[in-house]
Amino acid sequence: MKKLFVILLLLGTWGVQAQEYEYSEEDIYRSPVRAILNKFSFTVSTGYNAVSYKHDLSGFYLIQSPTQQLIAVDDDQPLGLDYPAYSNWLNNPQLEEPILLENPYDVPYPSLDDPVLNPNLVLNTFAYNGDSLDLGFKRTSWAIPLNLRIRYNYQNLRVGVGISLLYHKVNSLKPTVDGLGIRNYEPDFSSVFQFKYYGMVGYKFLDFWDYSFAGELEFGKTNLGSKFNKAYIDQGMYFNLGLSVEKNLSEYFRIIVKPSYDFRSFNMSIPGSTGGIKNANPSFNLNFGVSITIPEIPRSPMKSDHVQLKHVIVDPQTGRYIEVRGQPIWKVQNPKVGQNHRKLERYKFKNRRKMNPY
């Protein structure tokens, strides 16, 4: 009878103690700063951009010598001995001394059926009419970006801003007309650092297992860099359409892969011309990186707390009820058995030489 009485007394005591620690949702303190920051995500990414340049020389002559390539405005008049000619028309038009053009058939001795002996042919200097030949230049180069972005999340909608720093390597541009001996156009620079500033809107339209898919639109300005003369450039906004594929390692940490396409162009003014030279400058991008959302609750401050799930404790400093995490941000926050640690302790690499890994 005594034993039964002691057992009942202990059960009653435990019941009273349990009631002392009961709490409601309203009793849990949640930081308002963390609640606001939890609405934002930060993304860092890099990758590979295939950047194209394409322009035509409508309204211009291309004058080519063994050492130079220049353009001159086509004003519907034959080129004389003195005409304004420009080099570096892709990025920094500069006035040059005109190349002497002479008729290879106008020889200083009796004409021949085959004018191969004409000394002027040795100059190998020719003028090509851009309109009649539909002449232009194009080539795809590459760039390595570093992208930083912050966005605000509201349900499946996302709105944000970003900046990109690109190391851009520029290749020579190939002529669009073959068989006339026209050489590649060589820009006067081989590489340049460029910047992009943009806003973005997007919508997450699908969650599939641990993956999320979102369509995103970026719009902004591109700073083409110090090698491009800003006094001659007329440049509008660019637009980017992309698909963000996100592997959710947790609700706070994602690995992203994003293919996208830039729609952009710029107009390079040439003195004496009415329209300048319009360059199509699109870019296909394949970027990858990580996206982090700031947790709305902190890690448990107690080293002795080994609870793996989200749980409520009494803050040892303030005495308030707080909800805390038991996992770092890159792991599942409320894991099932073995979800975060799929390999048994004995089979881990660090324990490979231990007789008793436990």
How would you write the pLDDT of the chain (358 residues) with one tens digit per residue? 556 555 655 555 544 444 455 778 888 888 899 999 999 999 999 999 999 999 999 989 999 888 889 998 888 777 766 678 899 999 999 988 877 665 555 555 555 455 555 555 555 678 888 988 999 999 999 999 999 999 999 999 999 999 999 999 999 999 999 988 899 999 999 999 999 999 999 999 999 999 999 999 999 999 999 999 999 999 999 999 999 999 999 999 999 999 999 999 999 998 877 778 999 999 999 999 999 999 999 988 888 888 888 889 888 888 888 889 988 898 888 877 767 777 777 778 788 788 777 6
Residue 3 lies in a domain: no
Domain edge (last residue) among 243, 277, 293: 293
Domain end, chosen from 111, 133, 155, is at: 133
Pair (194, 49) in one structural domain: yes
Distances from the Cα of 33 to the Cαs of 28, 30, 298, 317, 329, in angstroms?
15, 9, 12, 19, 18
Do both 220 and 335 map to the same domain?
A: no
pLDDT value at residue 195:
96
52 and 201 share one domain: yes
DSSP 305: -
**28 assigned to some structural domain:** yes
Neighbours of 5 (CB within 10 A): 9
Using DSSP's 3-state secondary structure scheme, residue 248 falls into strand
What CATH number does the domain containing 220 carry? 2.40.128.100
Helix (H, G, I), strand (E, B) or coil at 17: helix
Count of CB atoms situated within 10 Å of the CB of 273: 18
Identify whether residues 220 and 94 lie together within a single domain: no
218 and 270 in a common domain:
yes
Contacts of 306 by beta carbon, 8 Å cutoff, 6+ apart: 326
Residue pair 323/311 in contact by the 8 Å Cβ criterion: yes
Query: Which residue range(s) make up the domain with 81?
Result: 60-133
Exposure string for 84-93, b = 16+ CB within 10 A, e = fewer: ebbebbbbbb
Q: Are 70 and 125 in a shared domain?
A: yes
The per-residue pLDDT for 109 is: 53
Do the domain assignments include residue 281? yes
Cβ burial, residue 131 (10 Å; 0-12/13-18/19+)? middle
In a domain, 265, yes or no: yes
Has residue 80 been placed in a domain?
yes
Of the candidates 281, 323, 332, the residue with the CA atom closest to the CA atom of residue 299: 323
Residue 12 belongs to a domain: no
Residues 91 and 140 in one domain: no
172 and 241 fall within a common domain: yes
- Of 133, 165, 197, at which residue does a domain stop? 133
Which of 69, 267, 283 lies closest to 166 in space, CA to CA?
A: 283
- Inter-CA distances, 332 with 69, 248, 290, 296, Å: 61, 9, 16, 15
281 with 312, same domain: the answer is no
- Which pLDDT score is estimated for 350? 81
What predicted TM-score, i.e. pTM, was given to this entire model?
0.80
18 located within any domain = no
Residue 124 lies in a domain: yes
pLDDT value of residue 4? 58
Where residue 169 falls (left for φ over 0; alpha for ψ -120 to 50; beta otherwise) is: beta
Q: Which of 60, 84, 52 is nearest to 133 (CA)?
A: 60
Is residue 219 located within the same domain as residue 259?
A: yes
Cα–Cα distance for residue pair 355/12, rounded to 1 Å:
47
In order, the DSSP letters of 23-72 are --GGGEE--HHHHHHTTEEEEEEEEEEEEEEEEE-TTEEEEE-SS-EEEE
Read off the pLDDT of residues 230-268 as tens digits, 9 standing for 90 and up.
999 999 999 999 999 999 999 999 999 999 999 999 999
- Cβ contact 85:170 at 8 Å: no
Domain count, the chain: 3
- Interatomic CA distance for residues 166 and 192, integer angstroms: 8
Same domain, 238 and 216: yes
Residues 207 and 142 in one domain: yes
Phi, psi of 321 (to 5 degrees): -75, 130
